[in-house]
Structure 1
Amino acid sequence: MTADDRNAPGDKGANGGGPDTSRFPIPSAGPTTRPQEPLPSEGFSPEAAAASLAAKNPLIRFTLRGSADELEASAAGTKPLLGCFVMDGQATMIYAAPNTGKTLIVLYLVLKAIAEGKIDPDRVIYVNADDGSGGLATKNRLFQDVGAHMIAPGQKGMKTRHLTEKMVQAVEDGSAKGTLIIIDTLKKFTDPMDKKRTSEFGQICREYVMAGGTVLALGHTRKNPKANGKPQYQGTTDILEDFDAVYVAELANGKEKGGRRVVLFDMEKKRADSPNVVAYAYADEPGASYEEKLASVEPVDPDDYADYRKSDADVDEVRIRMAIADLIGDGYSEGKMALAAATAKACGISKSRAIRVITQNTGTTPGLHLWNTETGAHNTQSYRLIIFD
């Protein structure tokens, strides 16, 4: 048999056995190698990565990855802008009763910040929806003389709806950054009693400060104070929840002579290192012009705040009883001393007076007593309101 015969099709190969595999290559049994993918640091693009992930989760289209430099450049530093309590880059709300002097003090703080170079006057916008023609003219002259802006519904074609519309526009085009908007007053642009509308307004203000702006809104307190006699903000809790800082202002006791009034601003909420209370005084002499009153505004020394607080005797006992009843009704049951401490804090009175009122109204006789006691866990004395038929 020739060599050609041995390699003919159908015959066994020269290796003495298996079929000829020369036409059917067998893959190597050794380890396979795969092309190495580039490390994330090699040619990584946040935009490209976001685009690829967007198909997996629709929320990825809103990712801020890759925008750190831009956000840091547009962020406003949290530092005092107006006085020591209205912070740059935040939304602040001030409530006070009409004719307290809140607008007067705010305008003093704005003009002072401009004079000190804290803010460019061309970036200040005072939205005046709380004045008649005389007040508009007076305040506009004050702002015009320093190069700041005042706008008012009914003037130059402005409608109340334009405020939120233009705030949204400023957020979108970037012109909100570095600006200060003073809204006077809140109820002219939203209904404080309408939770949905107030929440929407608060969200617009939130977006505005996130874009680098500052918002200061003014509002009124309710006619009826809290049980402790302190003024209570008007409307739902949405502004309190959505704004960064909330202060409630009230006229202090008439301790000063010469027609001066002192206004205390008590903090209800804050996010920055703002003070818990600030106070300003101004002259309120009969016949004094608005400009004269404005020129008279000055801060009150913190060491003197206590002089303008209501004394223990100034707090009506009916209000103390109402405060105690509110605490008991809310389930406060940590003992007499704890209840007295909570009452003293709520009413601004001494703890001893709170104990006296608690004791006088404790018993089991309807019409004479308002609450009774029972022993709870660990022999703790708790209180229950007496229900009158």
Structure 2
Amino acid sequence: MFAYVARQPIFDVNREVYAYELLFRIGEDNCFPDIPPDEATSKILTSTHLSLGIEEITGDKKAFINFHRDTLMFRLPTSLDASKVVIEIVETVDVDDALVAACKHIRGLGYPIALDDYDMKGKWEAFIPFTSIVKIDITEIPHEKIPALVERFKANNIKLVAEKIETYEEYNTFKEMGFDYFQGYFLAKPEIVKHRKLGPSSLTMMELLTLSSQAKLDFDEVNKIIERDPSLTYLLLRFINNPMVNKRHKITSLKHALTFMGEVEVKKFISLLALANLSDGQPSELMQMALVRAKFCELVFTELKDSDNPLKGFLTGLLSLLDAMMEQRIDDLVSKVPISDDVKGALCGNPGMLRHCLTLAQFFERAEWAGIQQFAAKYNIKQSLLHSYYNEAIKWAKHIHQSALNEK
């Protein structure tokens, strides 16, 4: 059975990732027939035991997972590691004494309980004494009623997640209100209030990024730049010795690394390193998202146009969050880097295959399964292959981020 997975980050007050909510579907129709999607999510999770592995999807972060009534009644969440998951009780469950007892038992075994999309209905009162987290959709409850809820839940030592946070203004508002965590796409929407200045290190990175964007890579120039910075040499060796990149050969010198990697891989490394440095001071999730998009767009674009330059897909995904990282308009930023016109166009929203690949990556981030289906139909590609590419991109990004970019 093939597990279709999407993950949506949950941030803390410092805009760092606290956890990921995992969403699962199965088959070409993305759900079991004739049963609610949330129930399908739970059944797929427990029947496949997460074939990809929770740790491959979330790293060292917790996983929020939706559970429906049947799986809670049969205590199926207890097949998972209590230290790695939060059990979300979906808002559509039918509540009775038996369900409350089952959830209380699960909590007693060490599993944190979260109420998803809390709607202020009386049926949830019995859960409050053993609930750890409450998620509130800010689009569903009048904002004037939320402060009283915050005060009440805080008095019961319950953490609060604000869902559907789409802007920095909303993030700041609910942060001041007392919320602990935030879920939404506000990180990917830049708050353009100032232009970040480029320091010496950033200018070096822009220089490297410019070199990597040229049709023919000048290895001598790359070598000169990297050689004058020992940390860059170290990072290059870390990158190439990563088992996700190189499983057989041990690279011991800069010259050996550049020769072994070849032009395309050296360009990738330079782009990764440049963006990692340019994103300094921003939440690490932005870089993680960019890495996943880069690998995913590369895989999909190569599948669709194997005769073209696969680096175009990689660069499109990698640079797609540059505006959020640099707090500038994407149109202004791409005008400063000599990347190809079709990559620039895709980043600026112009329709085309590269833009469609980027939009597909966003569909996966938001678990918009219908959009994924439409892409598969449009380009006559198996949907299961797209899901496998996204799973591969998540694993690749995790390894690269941990073993190389975190050391910068």
Task: Give 1 or 2: higher strand fraction.
Answer: 1
Report the TM-score range of the alignment, normalised by the length of the smaller protein. Answer: under 0.3
Which structure's CA Rg is the greater one?
1
